[in-house]
Structure 1
């Protein structure tokens, strides 16, 4: 019924018109088409038949009385007549915002009487609970209301410290920042070190997702027990703060102080000494526990050996208890490695090394990765007398956290 020229004219005109203008335009077109015009235009544009009929009536009135004033809906100040359009959900559904607020407010967390205390607060779960309270509303509208109320999807954030914060927590941060700045200004290397979470080697599920043909997800084992002969990988990382570069040593043995020190040794031999030719000091920032812990005697002994081999005066600062997330390697390197291998089964050590080594960021992060096949013995005890032979100096400010190891000819 509608020729191509008319279809072309309508398709070009409709996007340029306001609501009341579209209605009248379709009414005029319907009048021109005659019988069956409303039905044809409704199918073509998707406009309601009642809307087109109203447009025909308004167009006919305008033709019969050209001097008549335009209606409120047809003036230049309004698109719709005053009071027209769908009413706000808050008006048609009184109390909806208060009911929604009671379900998602922080004040309800941990309250056993809150029906959603132990379920995911998804939009559809919220919709179901609101319907139980007599509020009929779509999950899409709930999302819009939450946005208007200042709510958005939030991830858990590690911000609360277990136990009492150390009285010198902030002072230690200031100390570390000031010392790192002095080292970098003097052209000396500053590294952040830590052990990344151990990973099962094999065709296991790895959190995250990556693109694959629809309906063809990668199939992995239905359990997470280590596979005999593959075991676990222990990545130990060294992050160069100034150069935004890192080295990760993937061990197949235990995460010991000897493994940590050897990882730093490998970084220095393969990367550090090339970037800092002629350096005389090295500054290491580390967590307070684990293989590089402040109370780990073997860690200090291994640092002495490393200092003797490299000729470097090795300065160490540990972060206060409960503050390991501030260690730069966590958010500048390890987090990007996790993103790079998300959804990828770590089927072999070669795959792990390749994925770590291919990690980059827009800010220029580069990561090198290598395999450490040594077997490191656990449970090694360092006698107090042997510890006293180490050439260790301690800072006046928290010497248990801040110390340095100098080369020693007497220590073998």
Structure 2
């Protein structure tokens, strides 16, 4: 089982950087000075937290929290770690909130199409369980991964994407948490429209559950057709 979500966008800028919440010990009368007004380059971290292994995978993008970016992070986790750790697995349970790139509403067709493609690509049946609106903080990634990342870089100006990746990757806990972090430099266009015909094909792969099928559903790999 994995828990997924996007961490809030972080302001990234060259020296001296921007204010980052929290406190850190510094020499007396020697506070770190930061910038105030500029056009910062945001970092967009999206994480996958493996609940059983207590490990995290975070892709740091700069192109916005889109459905394609979210599913690409899940793809990278599976081929980079998941497939090796669980070689006999045929199913994957994904817990997500109900907003942003993780949304479940019909208007967010792109996410379901991307997940359907991932299911076919990996051969996995991907079961998605969305937390109802207003309950996203119950998602385990929030307090088992993101909270520790925030504590690890508290009070430190994030002066580049490399610094963001380094600090995320250095996050550990006494319980044994380890985190892999990497940059995702791909571009993910917004406002991609999925036609009714294409969505009808995707819907064939989706099996909603009896209890709130809009929140809980399984996306199965597409059946491969062969020609003679």
SS in 2 for 1:278: coil
1:192 and 2:3 aligned:
yes
Partner of 1:283: 93
State the TM-score, normalized to the length of structure 2.
Answer: 0.93
Q: 1:325 aligns with which of 107, 112, 137?
A: 137
Give the secondary-structure state (helix, strand or coil) at the position aligned to 1:232. Answer: coil
Residue-by-residue CA offset, 1:270-292 (whole Å, 9 max, x unaligned): 11111111110000000111111
1:94-137 Cα deviation digits (max 9, x unpaired): xxxxxxxxxxxxxxxxxxxxxxxxxxxxxxxxxxxxxxxxxxxx
- The CA deviation at 1:197 is 0.2
What CA distance in whole angstroms lies between the structure 2 residues aligned with 1:257 and 1:342? 28
* Greater relative contact order (Cα < 8 A, sep 6+): 2
Tell me which protein shows more helix as a share of its residues: 1
The SS at the match of 2:29 is coil
What does the per-residue CA deviation read over 1:121-168, in whole Å, with 9 as the maximum and x for residues that have no partner? Answer: xxxxxxxxxxxxxxxxxxxxxxxxxxxxxxxxxxxxxxxxxxxxxxxx
Corresponding position of 1:299: 111
1:15-54 to 2 correspondences below 5 Å: none
Tell me the distance in 1 between the aligned counterparts of 2:72 and 2:143: 23
Secondary structure at 1:199's aligned position in 2? Answer: coil
> Secondary structure of the residue that 1:247 maps to in structure 2?
strand
Unaligned runs of 5+ in 2: none
- Say which SS state the counterpart of residue 200 (structure 1) adopts: coil
C-alpha deviation, 1:308, in angstroms: 1.1
Deviation, 1:222, is: 2.4
Distance 2:161 2:99 in 1: 26
Structure 1 vs Structure 2 CA RMSD: 1.2
Q: 2:52 aligned with 1:242, yes or no?
A: yes
Larger strand fraction of residues:
2
Matched, 1:226 2:77: no
Partner of 1:40: none
Q: Secondary structure at the match of 1:389?
A: helix
1:249 touches 1:371 (CA, 8 Å); kept in 2?
yes
Shift in Å at residue 217 of structure 1? 0.8
Partner secondary structure for residue 79 of structure 2: helix
Structure 2 residue corresponding to 1:407, chosen from 195, 211, 221: 221
2:71 equivalent among 261, 270, 290 = 261
Gaps of 5+ in 1: 1-189
Task: Determine whether 1:364 maps to 2:189.
Answer: no
**Contact in 2 for aligned 1:201/1:226 (Cα 8 Å):** no
Q: What CA distance in whole angstroms lies between the structure 1 residues aligned with 2:153 and 2:208? A: 40
Which residue of structure 1 aligns with residue 196 of structure 2?
A: 384
Aligned pair partner of 2:212 in 398, 406, 411? 398
Provide the C-alpha distance between the structure 1 equivalents of 2:154 and 2:64, rounded to a whole number of angstroms: 24
Distance 2:220 2:54 in 1: 26
Map Cα deviations across residues 241-287 of structure 1 (whole Å, 9 max, x no partner): 11110100001112110000000001111111111111100000001
Distance 1:255 1:226 in 2: 19
SS of corresponding position for 1:359: coil
Match of 2:12 among 198, 201, 210: 201
